[in-house]
């Protein structure tokens, strides 16, 4: 399988495909030698969440072989997403009170997850909490 990064907006009404394309371009500019794709998830039924959600998947052999490599890529991608979200809070979403949740997944689940609440504060790292919740959920199955 070729290395691919897939960026998915959970709700194109919150984070538009055009906005996701900005993130994709910044990731492509890293020249990671992988394909970067943008997808919009179709909403089905009702879903209410306080967060605007952006999910990023690291797919392919290189991301599964080296955990350190996947974590390094996830850090770079998270930095891009945080910069993008901060700019978004300064721009068209300046009046928004809804935080942006960014989750980056590797072959083994969540590699990095952060919440960006505004244009200036440091992002909140939710990685350990999300990994713990995923382990707990997998034990119940």
- The whole-number pLDDT of residue 125 equals 96
Expressed as residue numbers, the domain containing 46 is 4-140
Q: How many beta carbons lie within 10 A of that of residue 19, not counting itself?
A: 20
Average pLDDT score over residue span 9-26: 92
Rounded to whole angstroms, how far apart are CA atoms 95 and 132?
33
- The whole-number pLDDT of residue 91 equals 84
129: pLDDT strictly greater than 90: yes
Mean pLDDT value across the chain: 86
Confidence of residue 130 (pLDDT cuts 50, 70, 90): very high
Structure pTM?
A: 0.87
1: pLDDT strictly greater than 60: no
Structure confidence by residue, pLDDT tens digits, 81-117 = 999 999 989 886 666 778 999 999 988 889 999 999 9
CATH of the domain at 104: 3.30.429
Q: Are 116 and 86 in contact (CB under 8 A)?
A: yes
- The whole-number pLDDT of residue 135 equals 87
Percent of the chain with pLDDT over 70: 84
Structure confidence by residue, pLDDT tens digits, 54-66 = 999 998 876 756 6
Task: State the helix-helix crossing angle for 17-28 and 67-90, rounded to 10 degrees.
Answer: 130
Overall domain count for the chain: 1
Place of tokens 């609440």: 117
Q: Phi, psi (5° rounding) for residue 50?
A: -75, -30
Rounded to whole angstroms, how far apart are CA atoms 26 and 81?
9
């Amino acid at each position: 399988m070729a290395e691919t990064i897939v960026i998915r907006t959970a709700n194109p009404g919150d984070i538009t495909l055009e906005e996701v394309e900005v993130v994709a371009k910044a990731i492509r500019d890293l020249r990671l030698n992988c394909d970067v794709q943008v997808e919009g998830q179709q909403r089905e039924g009702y879903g209410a969440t306080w967060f605007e959600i952006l999910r990023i998947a690291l797919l392919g052999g290189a991301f599964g072989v080296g955990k350190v490599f996947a974590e390094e890529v996830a850090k770079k991608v998270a930095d891009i997403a945080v910069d993008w979200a901060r700019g978004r809070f300064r721009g068209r979403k300046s009046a928004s009170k809804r935080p942006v949740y960014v989750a980056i997944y590797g072959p083994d689940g969540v590699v990095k997850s952060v919440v960006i609440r505004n244009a200036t504060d440091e992002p909140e790292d939710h990685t350990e909490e999300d990994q713990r919740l995923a382990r707990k959920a997998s034990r119940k199955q």
